[in-house]
Amino acid sequence: MCSLQRIQSLAKQHATAITLNQLMRPFSGKHSLIRQGKWLQKELPIHFARSIDEFHQLPFGTTQNANIKQILDIYMETFETISSFPDIRMERDATNFCTLLHSQLEQHRNVARFLAVCCQELRIMYPNIQLDSFLDGLFTARLSTRILSENYILMHSSPREGFTGVVQHDLSPVQVIQESSDQIVRLTQSIYGVAPEVEFRGSLGCTVDYIPFHVHFMAQELIKNAVRATTERHLPLRNAALASSWWPSCQVEASPTQLPKVVIEIQEGDIHLTIKISDQGGGMSEAVQKKAWQYGWSTAGQDWDDENCDVRKELAGFGFGLRLTRLHARLLGGDVIMQTRPGHGTDMYILLNHLSDKGGQLVHPIH
């Protein structure tokens, strides 16, 4: 059977949904390693076949875009490489399979950023193109394959204290988020010359079993949005206040020379751990709320034609942050909820499930 036929046939198959609790069961001994390797060798081609098939479902002409072609080539190569790997029979085969997975993960490292650029190009070429469901499918498959592959590699080659595979036990969300927010504040200062302070409140000592990268990614995206909104709304007012000797009392909620804080509150519940990120960045109008969850829609960058554009894009501009954050949360059984008050500010809630609870949540390889 040629590759294309094989891809079409595999793309129709259901990939197995597994729970994070299942992922967290340590597998020891060479037989388990071989068994898990065999399972992955069967599952991963299904994920990649479905992703490749999604590319082929795009409107005619789209796959002629040079960047899309390049991404498709990476997916095809991974599909071929994993599919043609010999049967895993011995421990040595499993080790070689880990090495292969590692190198394939590297190939895919920049695909997300690359897709964001493609999305902008395609929207210019085809203004009415609908990419949200295509990108949801692609990112869901991408995240699932990364979790499964990294979990296998880590369980096999480098067991770390306090971790089972990719899952960290008793992860402190505050610690992870603090590192991320410090970086964002520094980045914002380098762009605007000023940045709001980030304050932590709530159950600061609470912990959860979770994948650290997921917490980092989700918090990072929402803090970037909160910090940018606060700075862009209040910077002109602050500058005006500094330039004049008087200050109209009711325009901002902070002292005239300071930006209002971004507040991060951790709340621990029975089912979820909630991370609430609040800003006074002016909120979103109804029109913005409707578009904000679309891939590639952004209010950033319209006047960024200076040489700092690349640095600014570290903060905003791809229009992927909100939608991808929600996708990350939902993949592991959580969610992202937005409450915005136009003219005032926004509260974003990230709900994380306590994954160590019985039953856990599903990692849906394909939605």
Ligand X SMILES: Nc1ncnc2c1ncn2[C@@H]1O[C@H](COP(=O)(O)OP(=O)(O)OP(=O)(O)O)[C@@H](O)[C@H]1O
Side by side, which strands form the sheet with 208-210? 163-164, 167-171, 208-210
217 binds ligand X (CB under 6 A): no
Measured from each CB, the residue nearest to Mg ion is: 321
Q: Does 288 bind ligand X (CB under 6 A)?
A: yes
- Contact between 284 and ligand X by CB under 6 A: the answer reads yes
DSSP state of 314: H
- Measured CA to CA, the distance from residue 213 to residue 197 in angstroms comes to 23
Is the CB of 80 or the CB of 314 nearer to Mg ion? Answer: 314
Cα–Cα–Cα angle for 210, 211, 214, rounded to 5 degrees: 115
* Site stretch for ligand X (CB under 6 A), options 69-77, 212-220, 239-247, 276-284: 276-284
Residue 136 contacts which entry, ligand X, Mg ion, none (Cβ below 5-8 A, type-dependent): none
Give the bridge partners for 272, in sequence order. 353
- 225 binds Mg ion, rule: CB under 5 A: yes
> Which of 51, 145, 231, 346 lies at the binding interface for ligand X (CB under 6 A)?
346
Q: Specify the amino acid at residue 146.
A: R
Q: Which does 366 bind (CB under 5 to 8 A by kind): Mg ion, ligand X, none?
A: none
Which residue's CB comes closest to ligand X?
321
Among 88, 166, 322, 332, binds ligand X (CB under 6 A): 322
Residue 281 lies near ligand X (rule: CB under 6 A): yes
Query: Within a 10 A sphere around the Cβ of 81, how many other Cβ atoms?
Result: 16
**Dist CA 37 CA 203 (whole Å):** 40
What's the CA gap between 24 and 26, in Å, rounded?
Answer: 6
Q: Nearest approach, Cβ of 144 to ligand X (angstroms)?
A: 21
Q: Are 280 and 345 in contact (CB under 8 A)?
A: yes
CB of 191 to ligand X, least distance (A): 13
CA distance 131 to 293: 12
Q: Which stretch binds ligand X (CB under 6 A): 3-11, 101-109, 126-134, 278-286?
A: 278-286
Residue 173: CB atoms within 10 A of its CB come to 26
Residues that bind Mg ion (CB under 5 A): 225, 316, 321
Residues that bind ligand X (CB under 6 A): 221, 224-226, 229, 279, 281, 284, 288, 292, 297-300, 316-322, 346
